[in-house]
Amino acid sequence: MTDQTKDRVFIFDTTLRDGEQSPGATMTHDEKLEIAELLEDMGVDIIEAGFPIASEGDFAAVSEIAKRSKESVICGLARAQIPDIDRCWEAVKFAPRPRIHTFIGTSPLHRAIPNLTMDEMADRIHQTVTHARNLCDNVQWSPMDATRTEWDYLCRVVEIAIKAGATTINIPDTVGYTAPRESADLIKRLIETVPGADEVIFATHCHNDLGMATANALAAVEGGARQIECTINGLGERAGNTALEEVVMALKTRSDIMPFFTEIDTRKIMHISRRVSTVSGFPVQFNKAIVGKNAFAHESGIHQDGMLKNKETFEIMRPEDVGLAGTSLPLGKHSGRAALRAKLKDLGVEVGDNQLKDIFVRFKDLADRKKEVFDEDILALVTAAMTTEGTDHLEIVSLKVICGTAGQAEAVLEMEVGGEERSADEYGDGPVDATFKAVRKLYPNKARLQLYQVHAVTEGTDAQATVSVRLEEDGKIATGQSADTDTVVASARAYVNALNRLHVRRSRTGSDVKEISYKDVG
């Protein structure tokens, strides 16, 4: 390791690969390109853009991200197989700074899957890492389930990978099994024991099954790791991955005891957190560290009194450091387009003229119905505008719902389906059930509702409700979101948005469907 990287921690973001593996978090091609652009703009060092051999859709996304990249290293994942590695290289080679990331499961449980002996697996590691290095001078290698691999064998295969040309050695805690002391000790011992370890960068990749991903990643850094693999909002399979925002802000806030630094522009954290939440359909829990709605909220009287006297009494970070506006001044129905654009800029949202026009129309409509329009309301409007953009096969014309204590709820719906206006009158067990039945009558489908979630954007009886819907049809998963002061209207629009996305994917050639199984990779 050079003096230049001694205290520098490289941030390796795998939101687009490991994060997207989370059931229901599949992103569209355009959404992947957008998130990659935001990651690079924020200063992420390495972007793992996908798993190129998984599907044509993954290959196309990784290739396009590679072509558009400027500063970030663009990485693709490949199993320890020559065809995987070749396909990965074909995708990432367009990047100014490409990387091949190849892996194989080295623990006893994972060795049993391909039914390889220790010697056979060692030979394959040598062969595949050598092949990758012959294609690309930036090669990362991972022994999947490293934390449950026998110590002697782990040392052996790490040494083989280094000698074969790997420049980064990633040590994955694939099932979130390790603990902080063990995480630090494992990295430290490998660096001290394995020949050539001082010439490569060691990375840590932690899962959150026991709620220790952030602690384990930071401990690994103290043990000598200089690359953290993480995702926005901790998105990922099962309990998720190490959260980028948590490790970055921990290193920044506690530099007194962890004298390391990253090149992340932390002021852009909130914006990308909200965007990833929108495109993935995974809402951020209110009490989530750093990016949760309540992360900088203080309700206790003692806390409020302390904050008024000295903010440092109960805040160890400034909201502005993660991209939150210092104040939350509401806009009103008399506010103009310039004021709205300025507010969006304060919130870290950059939109084009056409998008601004759409958001402004929605803002005016909302301002006529609400006394005050707060920052959260504006962000909900942005989410709604971006969610519906380019997906208009189905469009709600009007919706009337009758409900109460007397009998079943009734929904009278008018909707355009492929430009043709249709109407339906349906009854159901509540207004949302009746509305969804009406949609299905006008647009018959086999989509199964996996998630229906509602939360209020702000306080008050006139608050907007943000509704998230996740649908599954023939292995394809799509999410939809919408916000409105009428919860039933928001529900209908979210449902239709998800159906529109399924329609788009159905009309393609299945490019977004994973063609191989790669669950629990890394």
Over the stretch 14-62, which tens digit does the pLDDT of each residue have? 999 998 887 667 788 888 999 999 999 999 999 999 999 999 989 999 9
Q: Does residue 216 contact residue 206 with C-beta atoms inside 8 Å?
A: yes
Q: Is 421 helix (H, G, I), strand (E, B) or coil?
A: strand
- Give the residue from 362, 363, 355 showing the smallest Cα distance to 339: 363
pLDDT at 368: 83
Q: Which of 90-99, 352-361, 488-497 has the highest mean pLDDT?
A: 90-99
d(CA 154, CA 194): 10
Strand order in the sheet with 420-428: 394-402, 409-417, 420-428
Q: What is the pLDDT of residue 329?
A: 56
Q: How confident is the model at residue 370 (pLDDT cuts 50, 70, 90)?
A: confident
List the Cα angle 29/33/36 in 5-degree steps. 135
Q: Give the model's confidence band at 513: pLDDT under 50 very low, under 70 low, under 90 confident, else very high.
A: very low
Residue 33, Cβ neighbours under 10 Å: how many?
17
- pLDDT confidence of residue 93: 97
| pTM (predicted TM-score) | 0.80
Beta bridge partners of 470: 451, 479
- Is there a contact between 428 and 409 (Cβ–Cβ < 8 Å)? yes
Q: What is the pLDDT of residue 299?
A: 44
Separation between Cα atoms, residue 500 and residue 412, nearest integer Å: 20
CA distances from 331 to 271, 326, 334 (A): 20, 15, 8
pLDDT in tens, 376-391: 788 778 877 766 655 5
Task: Select from 201, 174, 254 the least CA-distant residue to 8.
Answer: 201
Rounded CA gap, 323 and 328, in Å? 13
- In 254-323, where does DSSP find H-type helix? 269-280, 301-309
Closest CA relative to residue 144, chosen from 131, 158, 132: 158
Q: What would the pLDDT profile of 68-88 be if each residue is shown by its tens digit?
A: 999 999 999 999 999 999 999
Q: Under a CB-based contact definition with an 8 Å cutoff, are residues 511 and 57 in contact?
A: yes
CA distance 207 to 36: 22
State the binding site: 18, 205, 207, 241
Going by C-alpha positions, the residue among 409, 410, 408, 411 that lies closest to residue 396 is: 411
Q: Give the residue numbers of the binding site for Mn(2+).
A: 18, 205, 207, 241
Confirm if 129 and 165 have CB atoms less than 8 A apart.
yes
